């Protein structure tokens, strides 16, 4: 900044006189006295600026907002407080108001006494050879706008993240699975068949993990878990298939299932099958191996209700409160397959259906209960 500016002048500014002669101006002290109450209590910064770029009078809000006392503001050019990046636009605005054009909602950054900067929104009106200014601190609004821009950028990154999981990872896995099926048709030794079975199992686990992470991304980072109720399909076959698959994968597990409800149900059968699969898998992993798992699906008082109960030690109350949090494991010593997302995803499926998923755990029995309106 030039020496002229430091002395309260505008340096290279071409000073343009106001559209009214100074003889018509109202004395500053009288104006301040006339509006003394508003002048003192308003949270907006108020000031009367002369043609040389010096404030002749300022209100207490300057100290509240920027930490400067009146003599610290009124002894220096207003440009000395402006952020360097905002100087060109501020100079242009001052030239406009000198020509008699009011400047409204002009934003720039003013330096705080502590060295930081605050965003101010100015209204400046020329009158009687002076410029009457008011400024509102809009720093929080500007930060909120910037945060929104960051959120939009994050949303774009989330879309890319889901696209990578949905396409760039699943497609190669599908190709591997297809290659395994083709190779199986050829003559194989016992060793190579065993290796192919292990590879297929790894592909299946990776596919399940990818689906879980995609559901986490959709529910936590996107617009929520999606369900499809467009076509009403029977739910009973989907639930029976899940029970058969779990039983096939865990032949030692004893599953006692009672399905007694009016079908079809207004739901997304694939998603409710996923919910049941997660609950049954959890029951198999954490329940007593020699005791049966009881599963029921029924209509109760206008609600569709699905329960899965397994026997075993009661879950501690603090752990029970965290069961539906992502990546949480109630038992660190349990089977560590998966990412600990099953119960979280099940609860999100329940919520997407307008229902609830709750858990209770007492002596010998832990019960998960899903309920949703029939209509």
pLDDT, residue 40, reads 85
- Residue of higher predicted confidence among 330 and 176: 176
Pairing of strands 303-311, 365-373: antiparallel
Longest dimension (CA), the chain: 109
* CA gap 195, 186 in Å, rounded: 14
**192-203 pLDDT, tens per residue?**
888 888 888 778
pLDDT class of 113 with cuts at 50, 70, 90? very high
Alpha helices in 217-294 (DSSP H): 236-249, 269-286
pLDDT, residue 33, reads 54
> What are the strands of the beta sheet with 255-260, ordered from one edge?
255-260, 293-300, 303-311, 365-373, 356-361
pLDDT, residue 249, reads 76
- Give the mean model confidence (pLDDT) for residues 144-156: 77
pLDDT class of 17 with cuts at 50, 70, 90? very low
pLDDT, residue 165, reads 67
Report the candidate in 103, 93, 112 with the shortest Cα–Cα distance to residue 132.
103
Out of 10-24, 215-229, 235-249, pick the least confident: 10-24
- Give the mean model confidence (pLDDT) for residues 306-324: 85
Res 231 pLDDT > 60: yes
pLDDT, residue 232, reads 80
Has this prediction a pTM greater than 0.75?
no
pLDDT, residue 35, reads 58
Res 151 pLDDT > 60: yes
Q: What is the DSSP string of 165-215?
A: IIIIIHHHHHHHHHHHHHHHTS---HHHHHHHHHHHHHHHHHHHHHHHHHH
Q: What's the chain's Rg over C-alpha atoms? A: 35
Res 284 pLDDT > 80: yes
Report the candidate in 80, 87, 91, 34 with the shortest Cα–Cα distance to residue 57.
34
- Give the mean model confidence (pLDDT) for residues 177-184: 87
- Give the mean model confidence (pLDDT) for residues 234-243: 91
Please list, in sequence order, all residues whose beta carbon lies within 8 angstroms of the beta carbon of residue 54, skipping any fewer than 6 positions away: 8, 74, 75, 76, 77, 78
pLDDT, residue 116, reads 94
Pairing of strands 255-260, 293-300: parallel
Out of 217-226, 231-240, 295-304, pick the least confident: 217-226
* CA gap 228, 226 in Å, rounded: 7
Contact in structure between 255 and 248 (CB atoms under 8 Å): no
Out of 1-5, 60-64, 354-358, pick the least confident: 1-5
Res 209 pLDDT > 80: no
**20-54 pLDDT, tens per residue?**
334 344 445 555 455 577 788 899 999 999 988 89
Report the candidate in 115, 108, 74 with the shortest Cα–Cα distance to residue 94.
108
């Amino acid at each position: 900044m030039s020496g002229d500016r430091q002395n309260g002048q505008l340096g290279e500014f071409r000073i343009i006189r106001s559209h009214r002669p100074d003889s018509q101006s109202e004395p500053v002290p009288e104006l301040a006295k006339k509006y003394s109450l508003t002048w003192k209590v308003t949270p907006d910064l108020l000031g009367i600026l002369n043609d040389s770029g010096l404030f002749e009078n300022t209100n207490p809000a300057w100290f509240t907002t920027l930490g400067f006392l009146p003599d610290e503001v009124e002894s220096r050019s207003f440009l000395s407080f402006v952020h360097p990046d905002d100087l060109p636009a501020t100079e242009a605005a001052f030239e406009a108001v000198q020509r008699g054009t009011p400047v409204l909602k002009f934003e720039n950054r003013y330096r705080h006494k502590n060295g930081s900067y605050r965003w101010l929104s100015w209204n400046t009106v020329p009158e009687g050879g002076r410029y009457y200014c008011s400024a509102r601190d809009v720093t929080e609004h500007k930060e909120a706008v910037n945060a929104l821009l960051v959120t939009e950028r994050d949303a774009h990154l989330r879309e890319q993240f889901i696209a990578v999981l949905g396409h760039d990872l699943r497609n190669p896995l599908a190709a591997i699975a297809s290659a395994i099926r083709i190779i199986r048709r050829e003559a194989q030794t016992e060793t190579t068949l065993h290796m192919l079975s292990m590879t297929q199992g790894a592909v299946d686990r990776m596919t399940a993990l990818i689906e879980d992470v995609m559901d986490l991304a959709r529910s936590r980072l996107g617009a929520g878990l999606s369900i499809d109720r467009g076509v009403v399909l029977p739910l009973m076959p989907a639930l029976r298939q899940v029970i058969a698959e779990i039983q096939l994968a865990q032949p030692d597990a004893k599953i006692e299932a009672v399905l007694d409800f009016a079908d079809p149900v207004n739901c997304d059968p694939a998603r409710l099958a996923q919910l049941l699969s997660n609950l049954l898998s959890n029951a198999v992993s954490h329940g007593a191996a020699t005791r049966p798992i009881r599963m029921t699906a029924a209509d109760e008082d206008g609600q569709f209700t699905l329960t899965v109960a397994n026997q075993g030690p009661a879950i501690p109350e603090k752990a029970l409160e965290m069961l539906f949090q992502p990546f949480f494991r109630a038992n660190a010593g349990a089977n560590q397959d998966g990412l600990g997302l099953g119960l979280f995803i099940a609860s999100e499926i329940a919520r997407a259906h307008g229902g609830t998923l709750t858990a209770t755990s007492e002596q010998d029995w832990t019960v998960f209960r899903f309920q949703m309106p029939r209509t």
